[in-house]
Amino acid sequence: MEQPGQPEVEVRRSTRRTRTVSAFREAGRVVVVIPARMTRADERTWVATMLERLAASEARRRPSSADLVIRAGELSRRYLAGRATPTSIRWVSTMRSRWGSCTPKDGSIRISDRVQGMPGYVLDYVVVHELAHLLVGGHGPDFWALLEGYPRVERARGFLEGVAASAGLSLEECAEPPGERDVAGAGEDG
């Protein structure tokens, strides 16, 4: 059931389902699971509804570059006393060995599009990490002191390490917060 401009949709009818409808992505297509007794007219209505819901859900999890600018401003105010003010922040698809990078000289920040769709606290960590680099170069004690205010540093770093490991990305040594010895995932250093 494919229409121009729409993703490929597979409808699965379930005898166990009596009322609920669900949708998810699988192998490049959208799967909509409906009750087996549903009419073809109801099926068409529900497929359209679930495609809209899935798109809205994915849009919430995948903020635009404009959303990144707003988010960076909020994070800078909350965790860095508003001191880090990037001139630009945007998603990039060419970054394969890092989660983010910044150029302090011109104030620009780039975030790998691989971070899109990850939990919000992970995106926030990557953004705060890069914002901190606008204030302090390298990964010395002064840098990590700036990140102390962000409450989910360790959780986010663990998530990124897990993503890197499961994707078979090379893990590289990264300067750790003082007192820690650890392996950082896929070049999270900026």
Q: pLDDT at residue 172 above 70?
A: no
Tokens linked to 180: 């820690």
What separation in angstroms does the CA of 6 have from each of 33, 45, 48, 162?
18, 15, 10, 33
Global confidence as pTM? 0.64
Structural domains in the chain plus CATH codes: 9-60 (no CATH), 65-166 (3.30.2010.10)
Residues 103, 168: Cα–Cα separation, whole Å: 28
- Residues 17-50 as b/e (b if ≥16 CB within 10 A, e otherwise) read beeebebeeeeeebbbbbbeebeeeebeebbeeb
pLDDT digits (tens, 9 = 90+) for 49-79: 999 988 877 766 667 778 899 999 999 999 9
pLDDT digits (tens, 9 = 90+) for 144-155: 999 999 999 999
- Helix, strand, or coil (residue 182): coil
pLDDT digits (tens, 9 = 90+) for 91-130: 998 887 889 999 999 999 999 988 888 888 999 999 999 9
Q: How many CB atoms lie within 10 A of CB 154?
A: 13
